[in-house]
Amino acid sequence: MDAIKNTEYSIKFVPYVARTYVQLSGFYFDTDQPQKAKAVLDQALSNANKDEDRGYLSLSQGYYSMVKKNYRAAEKYWSDAMIYMGSPTKPDYDYALLYRYVMLCKLGNSTAADSLINFRLKTRGINAWPEPILLFFAGSIQEKDLIKLARRNWQKCEVFFFLGKKNLINGNLAESKKYFEESVNTGVTSTYEYDMAKAELSRAFQ
């Protein structure tokens, strides 16, 4: 695959760009080579010398761990991502928090999950998006209102994924399946939520 070869070539000559490793791992994952995908991220994490890069790479590691059903590892990676990112104003910080929230719920620790959301909403620097998703998990807005706020296709992909997770956590399997399908049907393949929604559909509803 030319994309893989070109990205491997880029890493060989510019080996310090974290996003290039994430891109390569994505190519491996999309071509059904999950072990290679993880190996690339492991290599990148071991070589990273900036906390910002470590945070971004840990975010991706959590995503792959979740898809491969390594739930405790996923939660740990997302916790690490938040620590490495440091500042809540970083664009990916709130995503690491949201992923960690749903994973803590999955692991049966809803008290810690709720504390995570409530603490975040009391701090400054919440990004305009995905703030509505945080508010939804805190019980401040309803499903229908959250959907209305998702005006762009990539926002809809994210919202439907998180609605699917929330309904799955609550045991509403039919609603959960519907939302995961809607997330996939957006066709926004560049988002983590698209792939995670696909993984949930293959895992819980086949």
Tell me the mean pLDDT in the region 129-152: 95
- Would 33 be classed as within a structural domain? no
Mean pLDDT score of the chain: 86
| Token pair in block for residue 33 | 């080579």
Tell me the mean pLDDT in the region 25-44: 77
What is the C-alpha to C-alpha distance for residues 86 and 34, in angstroms, rounded to an integer? 29
- How many domains does the chain contain in total? 1
- Would 114 be classed as within a structural domain? no
Per-residue confidence at 39, pLDDT binned at 50, 70, 90?
confident
- Would 104 be classed as within a structural domain? no
Domain that holds residue 154: 142-206
Tell me the mean pLDDT in the region 49-70: 87
Per-residue confidence at 12, pLDDT binned at 50, 70, 90?
low
Number of CB atoms found within 10 A of residue 128's CB: 6
pTM: 0.87
Answer yes or no: is pLDDT of 167 > 70: yes
